[in-house]
Amino acid sequence: MLPADTTHLAASSPAGFEAGIGPSILICRPNTRLGNTLLLTPLVEELQNSLPNARLEILSACPAAAEVFQEFATVRRVHTLPFRGVRHPLRYLRTLLAVWRTRYDIIIDPCPNSWTARFLTRWLTAGLKIGFTSPRRHQGVDVSIAFQDAPRHMGAYPVYLARRTLFKLDPRSSRADEVTLSVRLTAGERARGHEALRVLFPQQGGPVIAVATHATGAKRFAIDWWRRLISELRTRLPAARFIEIRPPSGQASLPELPGFSSPRTREVAALIDAAECFVCADSGLMHLAAATDTLTVGLFKVTLPELYAPRRGRSCALTASDAAPEATAAQVAQLLG
């Protein structure tokens, strides 16, 4: 399927585009968070499926962005801004200049409320720029649609944007499929994840339930809450085995459990993929797990599930109370059957 605005593309395409090389597309999302980066994977899937010859580049500020997109064949380059740009002004400027020197066929600003993304979209060079518009954001792109009409989930509305503006689908068709996150783990990565789990649990046993206690601010649950949750799960699922997914530092919140940590995002994803279930609060790690095939249970108490719920297979969001971990454990046990 070709981009809808062929007049823009014909004027800006490099030599050979008509021969099937495909358009050059930049996704402009200079955000530092792992979760927000993973929530772009449905858009990349959509572009790769609809424009298999496209040459995608991504502008990000997430340190793990290159790992997230490394198995997408159409992603030719990830431009990663320094994590704390004000501390590395020269690196920040060099990265932006590398992007600025490229004339893209299409730039996509997939975020409805990022002033940085819209500023950079306006500053960079492209034949066609697309993005959302709202009463406070109506400039800087050539083709736009109203954000108020888009799906609410952060993984779904960038796909809706592309379908409406690039592929000229109607609103109903643009919402047709349930979008899912993916990091496209390779067979080798999955095998290494299973091997890491066998090292931690050399004896055969029941289902492995991975948990992660880390989250930011009010999304976090107390450590005692997690201990009560695990205790109730042990009662309901006596054969279950538990592992804590720890931050790259290896710091344990539940030292009584076996633990796994790695500075490599894909290694953590592969270990989670080898488990039967992963339970954590709304966080980047939740979205990483939701981009694998394991059953991911996201626990929500202050953020909105309709915006951030894990979207893949049987993965789901549960509303959890600080006062009732046992009720949450009962729901998780039911999901595990």
- Report the chain's C-alpha Rg in angstroms: 21
Tens of pLDDT, residue by residue, the chain (337 residues): 333 343 333 333 333 344 467 899 999 999 999 999 999 999 999 999 999 999 999 999 999 999 999 999 999 999 999 987 667 788 999 999 999 999 999 999 999 989 999 999 999 999 999 999 976 666 779 999 999 889 999 999 999 999 999 999 999 999 978 889 999 999 999 999 999 999 999 998 999 999 999 999 999 999 999 999 999 999 999 999 999 999 999 999 999 999 999 999 999 999 999 999 999 999 999 999 999 999 999 999 999 999 999 988 889 999 999 999 999 999 999 999 8
Distance, in Å, from the CA atom of 309 to the CA atom of 141, rounded to the nearest integer, reads: 29
Class of domain 6-174: alpha beta
The whole-number pLDDT of residue 140 equals 79
The tokens describing 240, both together, are 């279950």
Q: Domain segments of the chain: what residues?
A: 6-174, 187-336
Nearest CA-CA partner of 103 in 23, 2, 6, 31 = 23
Please report the pLDDT score of residue 304 as a whole number: 93
Predicted local confidence at residue 179, as pLDDT: 86
Query: Using CA atoms, how far apart are residues 91 and 84, in angstroms rounded to an integer?
Result: 10
What pLDDT sits at residue 83? 80
pLDDT at residue 14 in the model = 34
Q: How many CB atoms lie under 10 A from the CB of residue 284? A: 21
- Give the CA distances from residue 133 to residues 42, 107, 148, 271, in Å, rounded to whole numbers and listed in that order: 21, 15, 9, 40
Distance of alpha carbon 332 from alpha carbon 309, whole angstroms: 15
For residue 201 the two structure tokens come to 């649990």
Residue 64 phi, psi dihedral angles, 5° rounding: -95, 5
Return the closest-CA partner of residue 117 out of 109, 129, 125: 109
CB-based contacts of 146, cutoff 8 Å, min separation 6: 132, 133, 134
6-174 and 187-336 agree in CATH topology: yes
DSSP 13: P
pTM of the model: 0.91
**CA–CA separation, 76 and 55 (whole Å):** 6
Contacts of 239 (CB under 8 A, 6+ apart): 205, 206, 207
Question: Residue 270 and residue 274: Cα distance in Å, rounded?
Answer: 6
Structure tokens that stand for 323 in this block: 């006062």
CATH of 187-336, one of 3.40.190.10, 3.40.50.2000, 3.30.360.10, 3.10.20.340: 3.40.50.2000
